[in-house]
Amino acid sequence: MECSYFKILQQKLLAKKKGSVDDLFHIAALLFGFGVSLVVASKLLDSLMQNQFFAGKAPMQSAAQALSILDYGMIFLTVGLFVSSIILAAYIPANRIYLPISLLTLVIAVFTSAQLANAYTVIASTQAFQAVTDTLPWATRILYNFPYLIGIGGFLIILAMYTRDSGGGTRVAR
């Protein structure tokens, strides 16, 4: 017997197939969660590597290499999320009367991302995580400049939504 909650959640997730300014909150939460998880995983691996039982083992070396690859994956995740949201936002036939609401949402998203960047700065500056964040340069750089990324990405999403022709951008064939 399948739970109806999962069906409703699946319908809501699949029903919204187009991008909007609201995607900024999802992008911010996903990138912040991925970045913090990467830092915690690196710290855990670093602590395990200091144990004599795990030191020098091939799986631990492979795990350290995988975490460095995931650090570079943070770039592709960030760019991919923003580009896909911008492309999907171009398909929304939005009326320009809603532009002030979108700009207000963008301001709220930038403020929220600034708080997330401050939270990451506090996490990264603690003595326990400071050495680990030095080994993850891209995740740290992205999350330190988080409000700028969210602001620029949100502005591009707004441009994609509100600069289309009201006719849907179709051309006359003849």
What residues make up the domain containing 33?
A: 20-162
Q: How many CB atoms lie within 10 A of CB 106?
A: 19
> Within the chain, how many helices (H) and strands (E) appear?
7, 0
Question: pLDDT (tens digit, 9 = 90+) per residue, 18-48?
Answer: 678 888 999 999 999 999 999 999 998 888 8
pLDDT at 8 over 50: yes
Sequence-distant (6+) residues with CB within 8 A of 88 are 17, 18, 19
* Residue 61: CA count within 13 A, CB half-sphere: 4
Average of per-residue pLDDT values in the chain: 83
Number of domains in the chain: 1
Distance of CA 7 to CAs 11, 12, 15, Å? 6, 9, 12
Specify if 91 maps to a domain: yes
Specify if 6 maps to a domain: no
Answer whether 40's CB lies under 8 Å from 132's CB.
no
Output DSSP code: residue 127.
Answer: T
Specify if 33 maps to a domain: yes
Specify if 13 maps to a domain: no
State pTM to two decimals. 0.80
Specify if 12 maps to a domain: no
Question: pLDDT (tens digit, 9 = 90+) per residue, 107-135?
Answer: 999 999 999 999 999 999 999 899 899 88
Specify if 125 maps to a domain: yes
Question: pLDDT (tens digit, 9 = 90+) per residue, 52-109?
Answer: 676 667 777 888 888 889 999 999 999 999 998 888 888 877 788 888 999 999 999 9
